[in-house]
Structure 1
Amino acid sequence: MSGELTNARKKLAGVSSLLKQQKAMPAVQAVYDAVVAMLRGSLMKSEREEFQELLDSTVHILNGDKKLREDYPLIINYTHGEEKVLMEVLRELLKELQEKVSANAQDLLKAMEKRKRDILEQGQAQIEKGDVPEAHITFNQLIREFKDDTELRAEIADKFIKAGLYSEALSYLEDALAHDPNAIFLYNRIGIVLRKMQDFATAEKYYIKALQLNDKDEYLYFNCGRLYYDWKKWDKMAEAAKKAIKINPSFAEAEKMLKFANKKIG
């Protein structure tokens, strides 16, 4: 018996163990692979009969598995000599199991997203009540659950920004940036928060870093110009507006910014 067929026998022997571990798809895949190996191999009559008996036993194990029956209620029929028919049945079963896995994954994602939304709303309500420490506890719990979600941290920061709680927002944005140092939108968001906090010099550093990552974004230059407006640095404001207009000549707000800056410069 070839190495491939020997390996196929080992796979059949492991089907029961896989099912006990609730690994239905690997179990069915093992039987499918074994049937394919049998059809490809050159077996003597005695070897073929032995292999068919193994398939008989394994198919019986599949049919007797309660969890598999829930996912695929049809009985798997196998007649010696009709391995190709069995192979097609197993292929269909694998397809059904894959679809169920995909559906379950989608359901899980929806449930996780709903939980995220619910907890975000809870934290938002706590901010609105003025219970900021409790909001922090709620949001930090959510971050622990979704620790790799940079967008979530930024979304939490936005809730504090809207409430005028800029220091709190900044801490979440800096945490998000630590997880994703190349996220340009975070540099921009931090720049906006620092501008509102009137920490103009630090805000400028974040905008410069963002523009080092992407110097083709007219809105970055425009927001930088707004920083210079608050900072009353008219030369820099004009330069930022010019760069925004160079990228997007129809950027009307940047045109207004440039005219205003030039008027201030005199």
Structure 2
Amino acid sequence: MSGELTNARKKLAGVSSLLKQKKAMPAVQAVYDAVVIMLRGSLMKSEREEFQELLDSTVHILNGDKKLREDYPLIINYTHGEEKVLMEVLRELLKELQEKVSANAQGILKAMEKRKKDSLEQGQALIEKGDVPEAHFMFNQLIRDFKDDTELRAEIADKFIKAGLYKEALSYLEDALAHDPNAIFLYNRIGIVLRKMQDFATAEKYYLKALQINDKDEYLFFNCGRLYYDWKKWDKMAEAAKKAIKINPNFAEAEKMLKFANKKIG
């Protein structure tokens, strides 16, 4: 037990430093853990009295912390011998602090999402005005701020796709794929862009790579079939349609694709 008591003393001794670092929750958690150790142990009278004095001074430190008082305005009362009561108060305080941290995190997340949405809309407006370089500048700044957001890169690419700026869209999609090589939707999206650019051979490579990752997606086969339609590769178009229908026998558009391909094959 002496080892645990030493640990508890260290926890109490570190509370002041944690508060100075604006780490209120770890500070309160340290006091709570120390009280648990005290209640769990069989302390001699002198040890208990020493521990109670330490708790006295530590609770005083908690009550004197301005930032903690802002988050939890109630005074923490402690009477020797009522450590269980103190433990419940500390548990309630930890709950309050956790809720505040969660609320702050949600607020930050909402603000970040709003900034992202606003910047995407502003970039879209710049593209519509024909100011593509400025749109690139804004989007690239957004990517620097949200560097791990693959979806964001795809959303930016969509803005350029809608404007018929396929080369610009391809750049963002390839960047997104570099960050998430297993994102099938990116292979599909790149395939669509390359198809519109009439780079059929490269588009096929991306579709085939996507199908290596997931060969149970009827829409992936269907989009591959659309590539072969543009490329006028009727045999491959028919094969892609058959595979889409095999996965989903009720896929009406794939049925139409197969009939069209077979008609072309003769």
User: Normalising to structure 1: TM-score of the pair?
Assistant: 0.99
- Note the C-alpha offset of 1:224: 0.4
Q: 1-side partners of 2:48 and 2:246: how far apart?
A: 77
Q: 2-side partners of 1:25 and 1:128: how far apart?
A: 49
Give the stretch that moved more between structures: 63-72 or 39-48.
39-48
Q: 2-side partners of 1:5 and 1:72: how far apart?
A: 28
Unmatched runs of 5 consecutive residues or more in structure 2: none
Query: Secondary structure, in 3 states, of the residue corresponding to 1:182?
Result: coil
Q: 2-side partners of 1:249 and 1:118: how far apart?
A: 42
- Note the C-alpha offset of 1:82: 0.3
Identical residues among aligned pairs (%): 94
Listed one character per residue, the Cα deviations across residues 10-41 of structure 1 (whole Å, up to 9, x for unaligned) are: 11011000000000000000000111111111
Q: 2-side partners of 1:3 and 1:235: how far apart?
A: 77
Residues paired across the two proteins, number: 266
Query: Secondary structure, in 3 states, of the residue corresponding to 1:164?
Result: coil
Contact 1:217 1:244 in 2 (8 A): yes
Q: 2-side partners of 1:41 and 1:258: how far apart?
A: 78
Contact 1:166 1:196 in 2 (8 A): yes
Query: Secondary structure, in 3 states, of the residue corresponding to 1:78?
Result: coil
Aligned residue in 2 for 1:41: 41
Listed one character per residue, the Cα deviations across residues 175-208 of structure 1 (whole Å, up to 9, x for unaligned) are: 0000000000000000000000000000000000
- Note the C-alpha offset of 1:150: 0.4
Unmatched runs of 5 consecutive residues or more in structure 1: none
Q: 2-side partners of 1:83 and 1:204: how far apart?
A: 71
Q: 1-side partners of 2:258 and 2:195: how far apart?
A: 19
Give the stretch that moved more between structures: 44-53 or 231-240.
44-53
Q: 1-side partners of 2:173 and 2:87: how far apart?
A: 54
Listed one character per residue, the Cα deviations across residues 211-246 of structure 1 (whole Å, up to 9, x for unaligned) are: 010000000000000000000111111110010000
- Note the C-alpha offset of 1:43: 1.5
- Note the C-alpha offset of 1:46: 1.6
Q: 2-side partners of 1:126 and 1:43: how far apart?
A: 72
Contact 1:2 1:41 in 2 (8 A): no
- Note the C-alpha offset of 1:141: 0.3
Q: 1-side partners of 2:216 and 2:47: how far apart?
A: 70
Q: 2-side partners of 1:168 and 1:80: how far apart?
A: 71
Q: 2-side partners of 1:257 and 1:41: how far apart?
A: 77
Q: 1-side partners of 2:231 and 2:44: how far apart?
A: 89
Q: 2-side partners of 1:220 and 1:44: how far apart?
A: 73
Query: Secondary structure, in 3 states, of the residue corresponding to 1:169?
Result: helix
Q: 1-side partners of 2:167 and 2:21: how far apart?
A: 50
RMSD between aligned residues: 0.7
- Note the C-alpha offset of 1:44: 1.5
Listed one character per residue, the Cα deviations across residues 34-57 of structure 1 (whole Å, up to 9, x for unaligned) are: 111111112111211111111000
Q: 1-side partners of 2:44 and 2:254: how far apart?
A: 83
- Note the C-alpha offset of 1:130: 0.3
Q: 2-side partners of 1:149 and 1:118: how far apart?
A: 16
Q: 2-side partners of 1:48 and 1:106: how far apart?
A: 42
Q: 2-side partners of 1:243 and 1:136: how far apart?
A: 39
- Note the C-alpha offset of 1:134: 0.4
User: Normalising to structure 2: TM-score of the pair?
Assistant: 0.99
Task: Show structure 1 runs of 4+ deviating over 3 A.
Answer: none
- Note the C-alpha offset of 1:265: 0.8
Q: 2-side partners of 1:221 and 1:44: how far apart?
A: 76
Q: 1-side partners of 2:154 and 2:160: how far apart?
A: 10
Give the stretch that moved more between structures: 32-41 or 195-204.
32-41
